[in-house]
């Protein structure tokens, strides 16, 4: 009977915690944190300083879809916030190259490449940037894809290359996530 009561208490506590973290309390509105798993180990620790580098190389499957890797970053950031990791301990960076590069285009440039479509990534890019996430694009990928740097969204930092940027960030203590 006691294990059942403990499990019920844990479930109620988890539901209560989830309900307490409404969208308004999260850095990226519209994106849920990672789902709770009762009894899970290795939860975000508010005492740690998170330096995370997301390597993004693949585009969305459909032109009108938000890049799933950007969504992953938003959900991770919201998860850190949900578990009480303060903003000054959340250091997230995204390095983008390859097929994912087009996700960083302003609407006019995106429309020119994709039959008049609007870039579905721009709102999330702004939200991530405003929440302190560094968004960087490989200058070599920009050149190879024949993108003029002026066509990039203003939230994006142009770098010499993804390789140089990722090595620099890793020597600064960032952990790389593919």
- Count the domains in the chain: 1
Contact 112, 166 (CB under 8 A): no
CATH number at residue 28: 3.40.1260.10
Strands (E), the chain: 50-56, 90-96, 134-138, 156-159, 175-177
Instruction: Give the per-residue pLDDT at 25.
Output: 84
Assess if residue 13 is contained within a domain: no
Parts of the chain with a pLDDT under 70? 1-24
Domain hosting residue 120, numbered range = 23-35+42-177
Q: How far apart are CA 67 and CA 171, in angstroms?
A: 27
Q: Is the dihedral of CA 57, 34, 153, 131 positive or negative?
A: negative
| Gap between the Cα atoms of 3 and 117, Å rounded | 55
Q: Does residue 88 lie in a domain region? A: yes
Question: Is 113 within the bounds of a domain?
Answer: yes
125 exposed, middle or buried (CB, 10 Å; 0-12, 13-18, 19+)?
Answer: buried
Q: Is residue 129 part of a domain?
A: yes
- In this structure, the strands spanning 156-159 and 175-177 are unpaired
In a domain, 141, yes or no: yes
Q: Please state, in angstroms and rounded to a whole number, the distance separating the CA atoms of residues 127 and 120.
A: 13
Q: Is residue 64 part of a domain?
A: yes
Residue 83 resides in a domain:
yes
């Amino acid at each position: 009977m006691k294990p059942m009561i403990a499990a019920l208490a844990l479930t109620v506590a988890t539901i209560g915690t989830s309900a307490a973290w409404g969208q308004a309390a999260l850095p990226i509105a519209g994106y849920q944190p990672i789902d709770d798993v009762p009894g899970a180990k290795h939860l975000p620790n508010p005492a740690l300083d998170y330096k995370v580098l997301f390597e993004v190389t693949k585009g969305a499957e459909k032109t009108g879809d938000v890049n799933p890797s950007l969504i992953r970053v938003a959900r991770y950031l919201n998860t850190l916030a949900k578990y009480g990791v303060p903003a000054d301990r959340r250091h997230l960076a995204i390095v983008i190259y390859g097929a994912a590069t087009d996700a960083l285009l302003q609407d006019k440039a995106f429309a020119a490449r994709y039959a008049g479509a609007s870039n579905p990534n721009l709102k999330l890019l702004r939200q991530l940037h405003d929440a302190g996430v560094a968004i960087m694009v490989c200058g070599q990928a920009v050149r190879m894809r024949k993108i003029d740097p002026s066509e990039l969204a203003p939230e994006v930092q142009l770098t010499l290359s993804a390789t140089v940027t990722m090595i620099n960030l890793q020597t600064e203590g960032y952990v790389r996530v593919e």
